Amino acid sequence: MDTAYFLQQLINGVTLGSVYGLIAIGYTMVYGIIGMINFAHGDIFMVGAFIALISFILFALTSIALPIVLLLTLLIAMVFTACYGWTVEKLAYKPLRKSFRLAPLISALGMSIVLQNYVQAAQGARIKTLQPVIQGGFTFMEDTGFTVSLSYLQIFIVLVTIVLMAIFTLLITKTALGRAQRACEQDRTMTALMGINVDRTISITFIIGSSLASVAGMMFVMYYGVIDFYIGFLAGIKAFTAAVLGGIGSVPGAMLGGLLIGLIEVFWSGYISIEYKDIAAFTVLVVVLIFFPTGFLGKPDIEKV
C-alpha cells in the first residue's frame, strides 16, 4: 500500500516535473542571455495552452488519426506561440536593453498583465474544459489495495519532454546558433564585434523558449483538461523556482529543477497538505535563494565594481 502510493506520487511528480522543466528552460535561457527575468513567460505558456486547446477542438471535428493530430497540434502550438514570444521581446524588452536594471522587469510585469487580460477578453473568463485526448493506460500492483496507474498520456508527456530536451540540448551545444547564444551570454559587445547578429540571436532564444513553453501548455491542457487565462501566473512562478533551483542560466539545471519542483509539489500534496501545495514551491524558492542562490548547476555570480 505504502509503496504503491509512493510509486503513484512518483509517476505523477515526474509528469508534472516535465511540464515545469519545459517552462523553466525558457526562463533560464532568457536569463542567461540578457540577464532579465522574463516575467511574461508564464503567460506565454498560458497562450500556448489556449492555442493547443483550440487546435484540439478543431481537429476533433475532422477524422484525422490521433498521432497526426498530436504532431500537428504540437507544431501549431509551437509556431503560433513562438510568434508571441518574438513579438513580446521586440515590443517590450528590446527597447530597454540599455535601460536601468529593473526596467525590463517592470515592462515584463506590464506585458504579463496585458497577455492575461487579452486572453480573458478574447476567450472569456470562464474555465475551458477539454475532453481527454489520450485515454487508457497500464495499472499494476493491484493486489496491494492501492492501484498504481500509469496512463498513456503520462508516458507521452515524459517521452515528448525527453525528446525535445535532447533536441534542444544538441542545438545549444553543437550548432553555430548555440555557440552564438553562449557567446552572447558571456559578452554581447565582443560577440557583435565577431560578426554575430546579437539581436537575431536574442530573438531566436525567445522563440525557442516560447515554443518549449507552448509544448508545456499543450501537455498541461491534456493532463488537467481544464485551463483558464490565469494558469500562467502560478505555473510561471513555479517554473521560475525550478530554474533558480537548477541554477539559473543552465539548461540542464532547468530540467533538473523542473523535475524536483514537480516531485516536491506532488509529494507535498500527497503526504502533507493539498491546500498548501503552492506554498511548498514558494518556500523552496525562498530557501534556495537564501542558502544557495547559484542553484545546483549554476555558476557563482560575482559582483564587480
Q: By rule CB under 8 A, what count of residues binds other proteins?
A: 70
The only residue of 3, 87, 175, 197 in contact with other proteins, by rule CB under 8 A: 87
The only residue of 66, 140, 286, 299 in contact with other proteins, by rule CB under 8 A: 286
If the CB atoms of residues 18 and 116 are measured against other proteins, the closer one turns out to be 116
Site stretch for other proteins (CB under 8 A), options 12-20, 126-134, 155-163, 191-199: 126-134
Q: DSSP per residue over 208-259, as a string?
A: HHHHHHHHHHHHHHHHH-EE-TTHHHHHHHHHHHHHHHH-TT-HHHHHHHHH
Query: In sequence order, what are the beta bridge partners of 148?
Result: 140
CB of 305 to other proteins, least distance (A): 5
Residue 128 interacts with other proteins (CB under 8 A): yes or no: yes
Residue 64 interacts with other proteins (CB under 8 A): yes or no: no
Q: Could you give the CA distance from residue 237 to residue 20 in angstroms, rounded to a whole number?
A: 10
Residue 226 interacts with other proteins (CB under 8 A): yes or no: no
CB of 134 to other proteins, least distance (A): 17
Residue 163 interacts with other proteins (CB under 8 A): yes or no: no
The only residue of 4, 105, 150, 158 in contact with other proteins, by rule CB under 8 A: 105
What are the DSSP E strand ranges found in 35-143? 128-129, 137-140
Provide the sign of the torsion angle of the four alpha carbons 77, 79, 83, 85, taken in this order. Answer: positive
The b/e string for 151-162 (b: 16+ C-beta within 10 A; e otherwise) is: bebbebbbebbe
Q: Cβ distance 239 to 27 under 8 Å? A: yes
Q: Is 225 left (phi over 0), alpha (psi -120 to 50) or beta?
A: left
Q: Pull the grid cell for residue 58.
A: 478543431
The only residue of 5, 10, 177, 278 in contact with other proteins, by rule CB under 8 A: 278
Residue 269 interacts with other proteins (CB under 8 A): yes or no: no
Q: At what angle do helices 152-174 and 176-186 cross, to 10 degrees?
A: 70
Residue 72 interacts with other proteins (CB under 8 A): yes or no: no
Residue 100 interacts with other proteins (CB under 8 A): yes or no: yes
- Interactions with other proteins, residue window 134-153 (CB under 8 A): none
The only residue of 72, 109, 141, 192 in contact with other proteins, by rule CB under 8 A: 109
Alpha-carbon Rg of the chain, whole angstroms?
Answer: 19
The residues that touch other proteins, with contacts defined as CB under 8 A, are 36-37, 47, 50-51, 53-55, 57-58, 79-80, 83-84, 86-87, 91-92, 95-96, 99-107, 109-126, 128-131, 233, 237, 240-241, 244, 275-276, 278-279, 282-283, 285-286, 289-290, 293, 301, 303, 305
